[in-house]
Structure 1
Amino acid sequence: MKIIRSTEFTGSRAWEALDIANMNGITTRLHWTDQPYRWHVNDGQEVFVVLDGRVQMHYREKGVEHIAELNVGDIFYASAGTEHVAHPQGAARILVIESEGSE
């Protein structure tokens, strides 16, 4: 049993993660960041939940870049093969659920 107070987690570097659970190869991690990640494509699906802060999620569909503004409580779902990169607007805490080993 764990209780995690997400607003109390602060990393010492961008995209530092607190591992919460690994359930049959699906990881749940809490990330803290104040810097963009990098363009990437996950092997599997990804669920990205903004718990604190604001994030601009850049993603490409058929080669066209789009930007979604994500606020607290917003969820971004990336199907397998969706190219994307998160750009926090200041510090943000994000819950990420994805296949173990995904980047």
Structure 2
Amino acid sequence: MKVIRSKDFTAAQAWGSELIAAMDSATVRLHWTDQPYRWHVNDGEEVFAVMDGVVDMHYRIAGNEQVATLHAGDLFFAGAGDAHCAHPRGAARILVIERAGSD
């Protein structure tokens, strides 16, 4: 067992993470970032939970870009094949649950 205080977590570089758990075929990671991630499409489902900070989640529906502003406590679900890109406003801590090996 362990207690993780997400507000205290930092990483040496943007999107650095700590593996919290590897369960069956999924991983749970706590990420710290102050930089946008790249546009990507996961090969499986992904749950993205903002623990601290504000993140603008860009995503595409039928080729049209949309943006949802996520605050601490908000969740974003991306299904397999959904294009998305996270843009934090300053430093943010994000819990990501996804298929093991996804990026």
Kindly report which structure 2 residues correspond to 1:56-71, keeping only aligned pairs within 5 A, or say none.
56-71=56-71
RMSD of the TM alignment (CA)?
Answer: 0.4
Q: TM-score, normalised by structure 1?
A: 0.99
Task: Report the residue type matching 1:4 in the other structure.
Answer: I
Bigger drift between 86-95 and 1-10 goes to: 1-10
Task: Report the residue type matching 1:90 in the other structure.
Answer: G
**Cα distance, 1:15 vs structure 2:** 0.0
**Cα distance, 1:2 vs structure 2:** 1.1
Task: Report the residue type matching 2:81 in the other structure.
Answer: G
Q: 1:52 aligns to what? A: 52
Q: 2:84 aligns to what? A: 84
Task: Report the residue type matching 1:102 in the other structure.
Answer: S
- Separation (CA, whole Å) in 1 of partners of 2:7 and 2:96: 15
1:21 paired with 2:21, answer yes
Task: State the SS of the aligned residue for 1:7.
Answer: helix
Aligned length: 103
1:39 paired with 2:39, answer yes
- Unpaired runs of 5+ residues, structure 2, are none
- Separation (CA, whole Å) in 1 of partners of 2:102 and 2:65: 22
Percent identity over paired residues: 63
Structure 1 runs of 4+ with >6 Å offset: none
TM-superposition CA deviations, 1:35-60 (whole Å, max 9, x none): 00000000000000000000000000
